[in-house]
Structure 1
Amino acid sequence: MQSVTAEEIARTVLAVLVLIIPTTLVLRATGVPQRWAPALAVLRGMLQLAVLSIILTGVITDARLVALALVVMFAAAALTSARRLGTVRAHLPLVVAGMGTGIVVTLVVVFATGAIELSARYALAVGGIIIGNAMSTSTLAGRRLLQAADDRWDEIEGWLALGATPRQATLPISRHALHEALVPATDQTRTTGLVTLPGAFVGAIFGGISPLEAGRFQIVVLAGIMATAALTSAVVSLGLAPRLCRGDAALRSPSARPR
């Protein structure tokens, strides 16, 4: 395993700090709220990756520790997504159900078919990618749904007044939220190799794997991301929408959700 020198670490930190500057300056100049949030996110990510890199030295070959790491990652992802949708207590069960469904189904198919070897290192790599995308999709689906409910609440109330059930009244916004949540994963998959080179593909090549094998690994990962996104967004959007009609104003109030 190739070691990293102190000089390489210093250059990495310098590049990260310099890249933060234009990000913060642009947000400050345009008057965007929470202008420091991206910079703090990068710094936090750098610190967390540094700690993770040290921890993984002893984790990546132990199946039990990998399983524990994936559980911790899932818990952190679910809490983050639920918090982005409003109060954690109100949204966490649905977020856990949605993310859990997408992640479990995808990982079972990926490893049960033998498309990717079931080993500690591959479970950690693929599991981490799938969990991260499930979190993003859950957040996007939920926020799109809540925003659509705000914009079209009169229409929903009209359907309810005509005798529609909560699920029937909110079905159009559920479909809209589901579609919007799938756009990033769809675009990423469609443009792979044409516009973008995915991280898993590049990382595999840098790790010494042949381009053909790296491509095989990447397409399985992309298909897994799509499946996870579809299942997660379906559970979140279809599960959350009817609850908006049951009198809990906090679920649909913009002031109750972090921006």
Structure 2
Amino acid sequence: MAPNQEVATVYAAESVAMDDSALKPAKRGGATLTQVGEGGLIYLIGGANREGASFGDVHCFDFETRAWKFVIPSSGSLSPRSGHSAVAIGSKIYVFGGFDVAAGATFNDVNVFDTRTLSWYEAAVEGEEPRPRNAHAAIILPEDDDSRETRRMLVHGGSSLEVGRICGDCCHYSDEEESWIHATLAECKTGNQTEPAMPEVPERFGHCGTTITVQPSNQPNAKATRQGLLIFGGMNAQSDLDDLVLIMTSC
């Protein structure tokens, strides 16, 4: 090997061996897979198949036993959908939006699955609800930079077939207040700016996103570590996208 030549990192990928005696979920795409707690159970929710059938079921995978379990809710249900988002707050999974292929319906509801009681309920929502959408990005953030006791779900973009448009908005849902707040996207102010400028962030759907932690800068008055939503790519009516966009809760 030549001097200073970097060695490629190799990752091992393997099919997870499963208990064949257990009932497996039906084949599908557009579902969500959410882990509740560190090392906890993994929940598969919803999805759709090539025949246009959407699912509203829940399956649980236990990595210790390598077995799937079909979850029969103790109460409530989720209407069939795919392209929704699902994020965990404590022992609950918050499902937002999605699209039912067969019904041609796009959703903007917030449904909560309690993994302790195995029950579904639709959250009572206050504030102006986001327009119906699917294929959006959603993450969980602390309610504020100083406390992680309460959490909020941050949603960006998506496709809203019912209103015939692609979304470029950003909004967050507070689990404690059960309310939506629409966010205004703006670039952080520089020393020469009196007001933040409006950034050029193309509307999009089918993008991916993750929670990112931003370390403190060298500025003496900068806030402590903060978290935000980092999104990549997606597409809109004009083109496919390859940009990275960082959305922070404050500048």
* Shared fold (TM-score, shorter chain, > 0.5): no
TM-score (structure 2 length as normaliser): 0.24
TM-score (structure 1 length as normaliser): 0.23
Higher relative contact order (CA 8 A, sep 6+): 1
Give the number of the structure whose residues are more often strand, by fraction. 2
